[in-house]
Structure 1
Amino acid sequence: MQLEDWLVLATTLLFIVIYGAWKTRKHSKVSDYLRGGNSAKWWTVGISVMATQASAITFLSTPGQAFHDGMGFVQFYFGLPIAMIIICMVFIPLYHKLKVYTAYEFLEQRFDGKTRVLTAFLFLIQRGLSAGITIFAPAIILSAVLGWDLYLLNIIIGVLVIIYTVSGGTKAVSVTQKQQMAVIFAGMFIAFYLILDGLPEEVTFSKALEIAGASGKMDVLDFSFDFENNYTVWSGIIGGTFLMLSYFGTDQSQVQRYLSGQSVKQSQLGLMFNGLLKVPMQFFILLVGVMVFVFYQYNSAPLHFNPSNVSEVMASDYADEYKALETERFVVEKELFAVQAAMAATTDGLKDGQLVAKMKSLQATDKELREKAKTVILQVNENATVNDKDYVFIHYILNNLPKGLIGLLLAVILSAAMSSTASELNALGTTTTIDIYKRRQTQERDEAFYISKSKWFTAMWGVLAILVACVANLFENLIQLVNIIGSIFYGNVLGIFLLAFFIKFVRSRAVFLAAIVTQVVIIGLWFWDVIPYLWLNLIGCVLVILIAMLIQSLDNRQKNRGQISH
């Protein structure tokens, strides 16, 4: 990185932190601090909702996912528009009517205190872990690629977020997320343009799409019922709908974003804005990854994208074996460049069966060599994380962008980490204050007292998130890890809310017991890898509803027998 990159990076991040803290520094009421004074317009709500979900993991992992596996991951989001409609019709009007600070307050009114605390506790566990991961994800990748100290990066990202989130509460999160999303969109569009600009002159955008399609990267839709495949149309629409309903409807980090809306209508418009824009946004980010794949059909790429793994191998007794793989791949790469150049030279190149077959054969060989490299890495360190998807896009940024723009793209990654983490810490502090601490208070306290406690709890969760980040290990693809954690807990929580909304005969004891049993079952299904994780949302939701209804029916039958016997 050059001086210009450091200046762009530091200026961008410091402006966001200082502006957010200064703009929202004064609060006299709890509603101002926790709900932003209900002053947010629909576009602020929509951007804040989108920024909360779009963490650094989105902009690091998603392009790498597309680079290796193509566009199929976009199916994961197919259930989102459906979920937005349901939340706008059912959840938002009820939350605004009850004037709640958290989603879990409603559960005490419908059931009892222990159900509310249990659900809040499930949220605190999964979101507390996720907050650490959203800090850890960019930190471990930037540390590996740039040589920065991992623990120092965790602390810097965490402390920057804590400063303005504690200072300004919900309004600070919303205000800074507008700047952060502006930086993110600007950076991604610039990166996309530069990727296309770096292709040979004869390779137009349409031809790049054809090359990607011929390489199997543009297969968006999979209508199969293959449970070995995480991403199909059905898992996206069914499992994805339940995950998105749970996340946007019951996760306080999202609920708090639209509870800050000026009115029911403003909150609803904000969510629909997110529903309409989110799928195209994810499609575009995946397309960036596909274009990076096309770029590397004409430009050299490393055998393995994680530089820390490569450094470890090169310092071991397996260095010669790894170098031999690199030499072999260099030959394959040169042949691939020649084939791609021949295909690009004519308008009908992609219709030449022999050239296309040769291209696919070379790509298959390239993939085999990459797998052999992973085997060598594991021989050196059996605990190494050999999945290098998360390093693909950052490698492109650091090795192909002009100075100044590298700093901007790093600012994109860190801004995304900060925006998502800020929402999480804000929600964790609010839930701890309102659902756990306040309900145990036996004496009246003034507004300033609870604002102070909210700030302390937010800071506490910020420190815990930093600690989680410092002890975390990279787990497969990072964007999958966050979604797996959500899938383990979200279905159960959604089922509890659906029971509260629609199944009136079920009482608190049945729900409480059903929730505990369901959570144990879901963790077991995940641990033994019985079914793809997206389906855990549907199973958890249906299971808690059925068990609660069964327990309540048995309770009613027993109660009726007791009345008859008397």
Structure 2
Amino acid sequence: MKNLPLFDLGVIAAYLVAMVLVGVYFSRKNKNADQFTTASGLIPGWATGLSIYATFLSSNTFLGVPGKAFGGNWNSFVFSLSMPIAAYVASRFFIPFYRKTGEVSAYTHFEHRFGPWARTYAVVCFLLTQLARMGSIFLGIALSLQALTGYSMQTIMLVMGVCIIIYTVMGGIEAVIWTEVVQGVIKTFGALLILYLIVMAMPGGVSTIVDIGNANDKFSLGSLSPDFTQSTFWVVLLYGFFINLNNFGMDQNYIQRYHTTSSEKEARSSLWLCVWLYVPASLLFFVIGSCLFGYYQQHPELLETIRRNVALERLPASASAAEVSRMAATLQPADYGDKVMPNFMVTNVPAGLMGLIISAILSAAMSTISSGMNASATVFTEDIYKRYINPNPSAKKQLRLLHIATIIVGLMGLGAGLAMIGVKSILDAWWTLSGIFAAGMLGLFLLGLISRQTRNREAMLATMIGVLVIIWMTFSSKLPDEYAYLRNPLHSNMIIVIGTLTIFLVGVLLTKLNGHSLEQTKEATLLSNE
């Protein structure tokens, strides 16, 4: 624990106040729902691109990625390498599709294509994904600030949640985007500053870090063997491609931004700006994780404190000192990877810089949470309230509803974060949950977009089968040993891959079979008439 100097506290306070004032400033422009959700299409493409980049660069990246690199290697960086492939598909097909529909919700067309059930299913999957995302990000920010300030994680989440809710509710999407532009710059500069401080604190500098990393295989991208039961290069590449395809093609956070620009060309350029910024930025965080591993290899005594703190978190309060010591001795680097960067900051960051770095961590969390809150409120208003309750609310009522929905979603995300306290890895938790919830949406979307002959009945049956497959892959590991042969043998990152392909391929197959049956019926009818 560290008592922050007044200067650092002032920097943090100034940052939080500035974010709230941005919301106050843009609140004067939010006179209708269109301004709140799309900024009337007046945001320049470069600002939208920086906003998407800032949404990607969350506290999961800021803390989870260095933690993964510390506890393992650079295998998860393959996720970032898949982004350009997914971005090409999105810019070529998805952006023109959404710009042509002109609908602010990403899920309205599901009803046009397959009926109300499809739209409702997609909305539920999206909202669950957002709660998982916001919860993991609230947890990430609480983990870091607890080590830096000594306050409880619950208190930190509550204070940050209130600040985020205020400026998101008041400013709408325009406040979200322009604060994310600033936050994207702050968090990138903060990461570079942390890297500089680690290298400067390391005896022997960069060469020693590289030698330790090579000796411990810290720079590997994973095995190239065709093994889908482990987190190999190919498993992460497939996971990254499908989850990024879902992000760029199905996630309301990004679809909504395609409508904030003035043209399709601007929307495409904003997407590519995000990709070319995020790939090197994510590499920067893997480098930070490897540097931290080298640093703590040179200072193993510091790891004792980290391991002991993790053991105290996992054991009941009544645990004896001997029990704590025994558990601490059994912990592996992957068990406490998320803790090492906050610990380094506590012990090495000089006064005057701590406030700036904490502001960078705050910005990493706030940008993604505020974006998720605005997108979720939009989906609730467009796809639930206007669809099932009141299709034609007045402009004033619709804006008020967006405000209320934003507050409710923010509080639910905060609750999800509180429920996640104690998870082993923030990044693993988020990847698993996002893969489960996103698989069904993406498979149904691709089925409707590619297989134009597929109709409601085939799509519904394919989705039901796909959901059963996703449930089996997710929960079969909990089956008792006598049913071990029924367990899912694949890595959990393959859930979105198999789930998506199941819905799409089963839907195509059913469409073909149904079309064949119809042809046979027509032929039989013609023969009987003759």
Aligned equivalents of 1:110 and 1:207: distance in 2? 58
Matches within 5 A, 1:495-510: 495-510=443-458
Which segment drifts farther, 306-315 or 458-467? 306-315
Amino acid corresponding to residue 263 of structure 2 in structure 1: S
Amino acid corresponding to residue 421 of structure 1 in structure 2: I
Q: Which residue of 2 aligns with 1:87?
A: 90
* 1:227 lines up with 2:228 in the alignment: yes
Aligned equivalents of 1:61 and 1:161: distance in 2? 21
Q: Which residue of 2 aligns with 1:216?
A: 217
Q: Which residue of 1 aligns with 2:258?
A: 258
Cα displacement (A) at 1:250: 0.2
Change (3 A) 1:298 1:472: closer
Matches within 5 A, 1:296-445: 296-299=296-299, 300-303=301-304, 305=306, 308-311=309-312, 318-320=320-322, 372-374=329-331, 387-441=335-389, 444-445=392-393
Aligned equivalents of 1:372 and 1:443: distance in 2? 60
* 1:541 lines up with 2:500 in the alignment: yes
Q: Which residue of 1 aligns with 2:480?
A: none
Which segment drifts farther, 411-420 or 204-213? 204-213
Aligned equivalents of 2:334 and 2:221: distance in 1? 26
Q: Which residue of 2 aligns with 1:354?
A: none
Which segment drifts farther, 213-222 or 10-19? 213-222
1:223 aligned counterpart, secondary structure: coil
Cα displacement (A) at 1:199: 2.0
1:445 aligned counterpart, secondary structure: coil
2:298 aligned counterpart, secondary structure: coil
CA contact (8 A) 2:296 2:303 kept: no
Amino acid corresponding to residue 549 of structure 1 in structure 2: V
2:424 aligned counterpart, secondary structure: coil
Aligned equivalents of 1:253 and 1:306: distance in 2? 37
Which segment drifts farther, 515-524 or 480-489? 515-524
2:297 aligned counterpart, secondary structure: coil
Cα displacement (A) at 1:98: 1.0
Aligned residues: 509
Amino acid corresponding to residue 142 of structure 1 in structure 2: L
Cα displacement (A) at 1:28: 2.7
Cα displacement (A) at 1:246: 1.0
Matches within 5 A, 1:124-143: 124-143=127-146
Aligned equivalents of 1:124 and 1:139: distance in 2? 22
Q: Which residue of 1 aligns with 2:424?
A: 476
CA contact (8 A) 1:305 1:392 kept: yes
Change (3 A) 1:512 1:438: same
Q: Which residue of 2 aligns with 1:283?
A: 283
Cα displacement (A) at 1:525: 0.3
1:262 aligned counterpart, secondary structure: coil
Which segment drifts farther, 311-320 or 19-28? 311-320
2:400 to 452, 456, 461: 452
Q: Which residue of 1 aligns with 2:46?
A: 43
Change (3 A) 1:271 1:307: farther
CA RMSD in angstroms, aligned pairs only: 2.6
Amino acid corresponding to residue 329 of structure 2 in structure 1: K
CA contact (8 A) 2:76 2:236 kept: no
CA contact (8 A) 1:165 1:172 kept: yes
Q: Which residue of 1 aligns with 2:485?
A: none
Deviations 1:300-330 (A, max 9, x none): 422252564455779866525766x8xxxxx
Aligned equivalents of 2:410 and 2:286: distance in 1? 31
Cα displacement (A) at 1:184: 0.5
- Give the alignment's TM-score, normalised by structure 2: 0.89
Residue segments in structure 2 that go unaligned for 5+ positions in a row: 478-487
Aligned equivalents of 1:471 and 1:212: distance in 2? 35
CA contact (8 A) 1:78 1:233 kept: no
Aligned equivalents of 2:316 and 2:403: distance in 1? 48
Change (3 A) 1:29 1:561: same
Aligned equivalents of 2:14 and 2:308: distance in 1? 28
1:550 to 509, 513, 529: 509
Q: Which residue of 2 aligns with 1:78?
A: 81
Amino acid corresponding to residue 388 of structure 2 in structure 1: R
Aligned equivalents of 1:284 and 1:386: distance in 2? 19
1:176 aligned counterpart, secondary structure: helix
Deviations 1:326-364 (A, max 9, x none): xxxxxxxxxxxxxxxxxxxxxxxxxxxxxxxxxxxxxxx
Which segment drifts farther, 473-482 or 241-250? 473-482
Aligned equivalents of 2:307 and 2:183: distance in 1? 27
* Percent identity over paired residues: 28
1:302 aligned counterpart, secondary structure: helix
Cα displacement (A) at 1:123: 0.9
CA contact (8 A) 2:465 2:502 kept: no
Amino acid corresponding to residue 90 of structure 1 in structure 2: F
Q: Which residue of 2 aligns with 1:348?
A: none
Amino acid corresponding to residue 110 of structure 2 in structure 1: L
Cα displacement (A) at 1:461: 0.8
Deviations 1:141-193 (A, max 9, x none): 53366431232222112111111111121111101101111211111111111
Cα displacement (A) at 1:515: 1.6
CA contact (8 A) 2:71 2:335 kept: no
Deviations 1:35-55 (A, max 9, x none): 121122222121111211222
Matches within 5 A, 1:128-167: 128-143=131-146, 146-167=149-170
Aligned equivalents of 1:541 and 1:318: distance in 2? 48
Change (3 A) 1:541 1:389: same
Q: Which residue of 1 aligns with 2:271?
A: 271
Amino acid corresponding to residue 501 of structure 1 in structure 2: L
1:301 aligned counterpart, secondary structure: helix
